[in-house]
Structure 1
Amino acid sequence: MAESVQISNRQSTIQIIRAASSDIISTLGGDTFSFAMGLMLLHRTHSAISFGLGSIIYPLIGLLLVMPVGNLVDRRRHKPLILLSKATVIVALVLYAVLTANINDPMLLAVLLLVVIACCDKVTNTTFTAAVHELVNDKHVKTLATIEQAATAGIQLLSPILAAALYGWIGFSGIIRVEIAAEVLVLLIALSMHFYPLPAEDVPDTDGGEWQQFKIGLVYIKNRLTLRSVVVLGVGLNFLLSSIDVGLPYAIVQERHLGNANLSLVMSGFAGGILVGNLILSVLPSFKKVLLAVLRLCVLTGVGITLLGIIFLSTLTGNYLVVGLIVWAVAIGLVLAFINTPMSVYMQMTVPTKLLGRVGSTFSTLMTLALPAGTIAYGAFFQNFPAGPVYLITGLLVICYTGYQLVRTLRHEKVNRQIGQE
């Protein structure tokens, strides 16, 4: 990879502050709105899929847009793309606020809004991933990733509690207005950010059509063992992990009748674990063997889901059950932080900047490809079976699947060492 343009440490620090502020406000507004929408749909439709709409829509939109967005981001200036996508979200939210009081089908309107937001988020997230080296110097890439993750997790820690409180205080219509104000503020922060130009890189490219341009990113992932292995692992694992997004709210509110407030506390536990995990990562050196570390942590995640099944099968009730779920959520959030952040830093530091749009778009889309199927399948499972057995079986499947991938990788490492010695 060619060296990025010289950006001073002071300039990098300013950009990190702006990026973190944007993430805090965006996450606070977006998560509060999503949680409130899930509550509204859950209470009005009594459907287990109410909290899983995003898990269906976002991957499908990502799959449809993976090629055009990847090519677009690598060809166009990044700042205008971000500003345009944020402005589109604001317009969509305003229209939703006007229509939501006049349409009797809340699920349909929610789906339409999430489709628009998913399209815009695909552009925004891919663009920010590709623009990392335009915002900070190489020394601050890990700092930017960990601080953004920690800041986002800190807000996610509070957003479910805030959403439940605001839902009872100002109602869903009031939360829509709060989200519009938050997105306007994020747009203003993005407008103030400076994207430093980068020199041209010696990366092979082609003047062919959309597919030929996009194919370069696919070939890059195919030829890198770590990226290729994580994608294969992620497709299967994300199908199984969708059980948490869909089933936990349904099990807590509908099956155990613990209420919205206790649900918000449990969901905040995830963010608390992610926050602590990223704070620890900020002072630790980068992982040397990213793939092996991720695989071991994924096996640990499977153990955690198995324990969740045991918790729901136990005789715990009331506050004891809530405390147990909160502790579990914090532990799983900690593990997920040690999985997600190192992979993000690895990609940003190893993929040529000119390919980050295509590789990042492909990577994120393939990683979430199984979520729609998982959301639909687990929506049906939790609608018809108790949470305990579903989570117990899911956890065992995660352990078997990731354990098999870990054994294969260890054998591959052993063979490479033997070849090297010869």
Structure 2
Amino acid sequence: MNEAARIKQASYHLYTFTASKLISTFGSSVYAFGISLYVLALTGSAASFAINLICSILPRSLLAPFAGYTADKYSKKTIVVLSQVVSMLSVAGLLIYSLLNGLSLTAIYTTTALLSISSMFTGVTFSSSIANLIDPDRIQRAMGFNQSAISIAAIGGPVVGGMLFGFVSMNVFLMIQAGAYAIAVLLESTMNFKLYTVRAERAVGEATKTMLTEMKEGFSYLKSNRVITVIVTVAIGINFFFSSMMIGLPFIAVQQLNVKATHFGMIEAMIAVGMLAASIYFSISKEVRFPLLFAKRGILGMSVLLAGMAIPLIVGMSYGVMVVYFLLLMLTFGMTNVFVNTPIGVMMQKDVDEEYRGRVFGILESMAMAMMPLGYLLFGLLYDVVPAEYVVGASSFCLIVLTGYLMRPSVLKEAHPELQKNLSNQPEPL
């Protein structure tokens, strides 16, 4: 295939990938919101809601490394299509069960777990495939479109999910979800996941390696690449310390400052609005020249914003000013989040060797997701016994220290040798 034809097909991939990601992510968001409302309406129990959440998070944490191994060893297109088919069949199975027996918590929990696993396989495989689908000059644009799809789903999913839950039966709701996954399958089946592959065929000896051996090789590759190890470690730290924001925002705004539910919904939505605005910016702007340095500044900015949640607790504000303050804070936080994720995502697409890309993304997904339940538990307990301003302040400080140490000048110079002159005079942290 000549270069002009590849560029044309890459353009098709760019928009097909975005459409598929939007449909499947939007469908998952609608399902998660709608089924959560149903569980609460059915049981009135926060514990039942929490179990459904655990069924969504735990399988992703446990199986993500295996998904990464699978993406590296087998056909990425086959994995993506089959995963979406499993998602479609899981929802369709719940629909059939509902028609025959009525919905039960066991059936809902099982479906949630299956969807978590299938969407995780889809996500890890897609993440490791972007550099194979899109030409190098437009990877940042693809990452921007990907973030846009996620943001639109985050904004519109709860709205559509709430509307469907209120106006149609649960069976119609499930039929719509199954149809959305079916459309995603059709789109993904037309994509060429080897368009920009540079990977050679496996040698005979490599083909006989066990799964455990190849997964160990993924960890060994990760440890041998200092810059990628730093990125994964920082991602774990971000997910852990920003759990204090996920728990703290509703606790501070609603519980301590008595922000009305409608206004709090708008505050939470501003995160996704900020992410969407920043994603659009990255989809049309030039590629970031020094992504690790750019991301470091973004993380430090997010850390300051995290501490900023405590300001209304310390400084007296009128109700209107307080709501506007939180709206702007969360808008800026959403934008800064994308300023970190997109450059790092582009960097990993280009710098991680293709044969290890799936395993690296799988390890990243697993370790980052594993920190969330731990963070939720720890910070949930801390907010009950320690003043909230101390919790967010300490979290912000710890994240700043962690980022400053892990992304120290020597690491930045290794990632971007052309920064040598700029950073040569900066001292190393103790």
The TM-score normalised by the length of structure 2 is 0.81
- In the alignment, which residue of structure 2 is the partner of 1:189? 187
Return the offset for 1:65. Answer: 1.9
- In the alignment, which residue of structure 1 is the partner of 2:241? 240
Q: How many pairs align?
A: 412
- Whole-angstrom CA distance in 2 between matches of 1:132 and 1:263: 36
- Whole-angstrom CA distance in 2 between matches of 1:46 and 1:325: 30
CA distance 1:131–1:246, change in 2 (3 Å): same
- Whole-angstrom CA distance in 2 between matches of 1:266 and 1:97: 34
Select between 174-183 and 316-325 the one with higher mean Cα deviation: 316-325
Return the offset for 1:166. Answer: 3.5
- Whole-angstrom CA distance in 1 between matches of 2:290 and 2:112: 37
Say whether 1:180 aligns with 2:181: no
Higher normalized contact order (CA 8 Å, seq sep 6+, divided by chain length): 1
- In the alignment, which residue of structure 2 is the partner of 1:69? 67
- Whole-angstrom CA distance in 2 between matches of 1:165 and 1:128: 30
- In the alignment, which residue of structure 2 is the partner of 1:258? 260
CA distance 1:310–1:170, change in 2 (3 Å): farther
CA distance 1:193–1:414, change in 2 (3 Å): closer
Say whether 1:122 aligns with 2:123: no
1:219-263 CA-partner distances (Å, limit 9, x unpaired): 22212222111222222321222234445457667774733x545
Superposed, which structure 2 residues align to 1:63-212 within 5 Å? Answer: 63-99=61-97, 106=105, 109-170=107-168, 174-196=172-194, 198-201=197-200, 206=206, 207-212=208-213
CA distance 1:379–1:116, change in 2 (3 Å): farther
Tell me which amino acid in the other structure corresponds to 1:209.
Answer: T
Paired residues of 1:203 and 1:352 also in contact (CA < 8 A): no
- In the alignment, which residue of structure 1 is the partner of 2:294? 293
CA distance 1:202–1:85, change in 2 (3 Å): closer
1:290-324 CA-partner distances (Å, limit 9, x unpaired): 33332332222122122223336766686655443
Return the offset for 1:274. Answer: 0.7
The TM-score normalised by the length of structure 1 is 0.83
Paired residues of 2:244 and 2:391 also in contact (CA < 8 A): no
CA distance 1:415–1:16, change in 2 (3 Å): closer
Structure 1: give runs of 5+ residues left out of the alignment. none
Select between 218-227 and 286-295 the one with higher mean Cα deviation: 286-295
Between the aligned residues of both structures, percent identity stands at 19
- Whole-angstrom CA distance in 2 between matches of 1:42 and 1:390: 28
Say whether 1:216 aligns with 2:214: no
- Whole-angstrom CA distance in 1 between matches of 2:166 and 2:263: 14
Structure 2: give runs of 5+ residues left out of the alignment. 415-419, 426-430
- In the alignment, which residue of structure 2 is the partner of 1:225? 226
CA distance 1:390–1:42, change in 2 (3 Å): farther
3-state SS of 1:356 partner: helix
Paired residues of 2:147 and 2:279 also in contact (CA < 8 A): yes
- Whole-angstrom CA distance in 2 between matches of 1:253 and 1:263: 7
- Whole-angstrom CA distance in 2 between matches of 1:414 and 1:302: 19
- Whole-angstrom CA distance in 2 between matches of 1:5 and 1:266: 47
Paired residues of 1:158 and 1:268 also in contact (CA < 8 A): no
CA distance 1:404–1:131, change in 2 (3 Å): closer
CA distance 1:350–1:286, change in 2 (3 Å): same
1:40-69 CA-partner distances (Å, limit 9, x unpaired): 445654538947954x45553234323432
Paired residues of 1:308 and 1:392 also in contact (CA < 8 A): no
Tell me which amino acid in the other structure corresponds to 1:88.
Answer: V
- In the alignment, which residue of structure 2 is the partner of 1:368? 369
